[in-house]
Amino acid sequence: MLTAYDATSARLSEAADVPMLLVGDTLGMVIQGHTSTIPVTLDQMVYHAGIVTRVTERPLVVGDLPFMTYQVGEEQALISSGRLMQEGGVSAVKLEGGERLAPTIKRIVDAGIPVMAHIGLTPQSVNRFGGFKVQGREAESARQLMQDAIAVQQAGAFAVVLELVPTLLAKAITERLDIPTIGIGAGVHTDGQVQVFHDILGLFDDFVPRHTHRYAEIGEQMRSAIGEYVADVTDRTFPTAQNAFSMQEGVLAQVLAEKEEVPHTGLADD
């Protein structure tokens, strides 16, 4: 699974046979320039989801429920999920939280909306965690994550994301569950992996998460290409004749030879 926030990332991912696309609230950081996902609104998620679903056919598109669009209560969560599906066109929604959110997951699933759960490091709770830190290293937190995973499965989630969870714990959770686990910073033993589109392509270099692998340095290539464009325009080596369009010189000469006439506007001052 890869994140997709726009038509370009969605089309490229589909062409590469990515089976699942996540319209993630990480767009707050990747696209909008925020330091967390918290400022992202439901309207923004619906907008970006609509773009992705409009230009793709094969991948399963999952949409994130953003901060404070499902935490207030089950009714709010159901309405928010309905909007993402009806207006954004997604086939499933994702929400952050484990055992505590199980009743909410069940309510959404009972309404006919597939839910992907998300446990471990949940970015919307980053302030509570004190930063983007690995979860489940101690016995108590590991035990809770196991309970969270079982609870979301029993509530009807069709899959669960494990983020920043130790490899051994992610393996144990995966073996315990019947539903697929999708890891991000959770090791190789999960059933699938999710990564941020911009991370694996090197589209920015201010921070490289440990859990990702750069398969290309597209950002550097883009900077180089843009620099060449600026230089060519400055030196007037672009555009060339191949990039321009012609007309008969006689037509232009006729236009230039004609006496300019001031158009009559019909106003009293004319």
- CATH number of the domain enclosing 88: 3.20.20.60
3 pairs with which residues across the strands?
22
Q: Rounded to an integer, what distance in angstroms lies between the CA atom of residue 10 and that of residue 33?
A: 20
pLDDT-flagged residues of the chain (< 70):
126-132, 207, 259-270
Domain that holds residue 244: 222-257
Contact 15, 56 (CB under 8 A): no
Let me know whether 190 and 226 are in one domain: no
163 included as an active-site residue: yes
Q: Rounded to an integer, what distance in angstroms lies between the CA atom of residue 110 and that of residue 92?
A: 13
pTM of the model: 0.89
Supply the pLDDT for residue 130: 57
97 pairs with which residues across the strands?
118
- Residue 252 covered by a domain: yes
Let me know whether 55 and 7 are in one domain: yes
118 pairs with which residues across the strands?
96, 161
pLDDT, tens only, 93-103? 999 999 999 99
Let me know whether 196 and 89 are in one domain: yes
Q: Rounded to an integer, what distance in angstroms lies between the CA atom of residue 208 and that of residue 11?
A: 24
**Of 171, 187, 218, which marks where a domain is finished?**
218
193 pairs with which residues across the strands?
183
Let me know whether 142 and 189 are in one domain: yes
Residue in 14, 96, 163, 228 annotated catalytic: 163
Let me know whether 159 and 237 are in one domain: no
**Type of residue at 144:** Q
Q: Which residue has the tokens 């066109």?
A: 89
Tokens of 153: 């499965």
